Amino acid sequence: MEDSEAAGPNFVAIPGVRLAYDMAGSGTPVVFVHGGLLDRRQWDDQFAFFARNHCAIRYDMRSAGESKTAPSTEAFTHYEDLLRFLQGLEIPRVSLVGLSNYGVALDFAIAYSGMVEKLILVSPGLRGYQYRDPWVAARFGEMMGALGQQDLNAAVEIFLTMWVDGPQRTPEEVNPFLRERVREMAARSFRLSRLAPNCKGLEPPAAGRLLRVRAPTLVILGDKDAPDILAIGQTIHEGVVGSRLAWIRNAGHTLPMEKPEEFNCLVEDFLRA
């Protein structure tokens, strides 16, 4: 497997989209699945690090980053896109590192359990989980209102409040460089998300199927994240047999970008175990 980072992204064509990706290193494949409204640049602090000992692969999902998405209202799922992506690369088995995004990596690990060597779920989402936190609900309502008024800047700022700052911190308490990195990705992805709006998830939802996860699983949480995400992480930890739960202190939802050294060591130790 060749190093493609220096030459820019390569592409794998699947129905409705050409998925952009980078690949570097050799050894066991580790695929990085970015968060919702982000793109593969989210893993800038991980990609070269993990390429030292693994074949590191990061890609832009449909309607994100540099992937070439054909406008469509047909239903699709990110976890089936991931399957076709791996088939296009002729990779039969991988370890998955996934951030949030309604649990795309988890959906894949349930649907295609034989293809997953190890599973690392970061600030995880979980389809079928009933969200309870009024703070997130209020911010989400504000974000949708801003989008309805075509105020993209306001919508992105609310997104940063929700998923970078979190409910325990003000924007001034968060690294401004981190916020700007996420701002640029989110602004781009908000626009691209209109190309393929009809995204679905695993059915029946993953929340009732955690016992079907066969791969060794590590759940990583940041203690400054929203209560619902922390509850989801605990739910997955309790529902996936033999899983491990790790915490990164003074970090929010986008913890791989906020605490890259600590995150990288946690994940590398788990992959090597």
Per-residue pLDDT tens over the stretch 134-157: 999 999 999 999 999 999 999 999
Helices 104-111 and 78-88, packing angle to 10 deg: 70
Q: Tens digit of pLDDT for each residue in 168-200?
A: 999 999 999 999 999 999 999 999 999 999 999
Same domain, 153 and 97: no
Same domain for 99 and 219: yes
| Of 155, 171, 193, the domain-final residue | 193
pLDDT at 1: 41
Asked whether residue 28 falls in the same domain as residue 67, the answer is yes
Q: Are residues 120 and 253 in the same domain?
A: yes
Pair (68, 102) in one structural domain: yes
254 is a domain residue: yes
Q: Same domain for 76 and 164?
A: no
CB 193 within 8 Å of CB 71: no
Do residues 16 and 86 share a domain?
yes
Asked if residue 186 and residue 99 are part of one domain, the reply reads: no
Give the pLDDT of residue 7. 65
Confidence of residue 98 (pLDDT cuts 50, 70, 90): very high
**Is residue 4 a part of any domain in this protein?**
no
Domain end among 176, 193, 210: 193
Query: Which amino acid appears at position 13 of this protein?
Result: A
Q: Work out the average pLDDT over 108-137.
A: 96
Domain count along the chain: 2
- The mean per-residue pLDDT over the stretch 100-128 comes to 97
- The pLDDT of residue 52 is 97
pLDDT of residue 8: 76
- Do 127 and 140 lie in a common domain? no
Task: Return the pLDDT at 4.
Answer: 46
**Is 2 among the domain residues?**
no
Is residue 5 domain-resident?
Answer: no
Q: Which amino acid is at 240?
A: V
Task: List all residues 6 or more positions away from 52 whose beta carbon is below 8 Å from its beta carbon.
Answer: 25
pLDDT confidence of residue 5: 47
Domain end position, chosen among 143, 158, 193: 193
Q: CB-based burial of residue 186 (10 Å sphere; 0-12 exposed, 13-18 middle, 19+ buried)?
A: buried
The CATH number given to whatever domain includes residue 36 is: 3.40.50.1820
Q: Are residues 181 and 257 in the same domain?
A: no
**In contact, 9 and 20? CB cutoff 8 Å:** yes
* Whether 125 and 245 share a structural domain: yes
The number of C-alpha atoms within 13 Å of 187 and in the hemisphere containing its C-beta is 11
Q: Is residue 243 part of a domain?
A: yes
Contact residues for 90 (Cβ-Cβ < 8 A; gap 6+) = none
What is the extent of the structural domain holding 209?
10-131+196-272
Binning pLDDT at 50, 70 and 90, where does residue 78 land?
Answer: very high
User: What is the β-pairing status of strands 76-77 and 199-200?
Assistant: parallel
Do 235 and 189 fall within a single domain?
Answer: no
* Helical (H) or strand (E) element with 108: helix 104-111
Residue 50 lies in a domain: yes
Percent residues over pLDDT 90 in the chain:
97
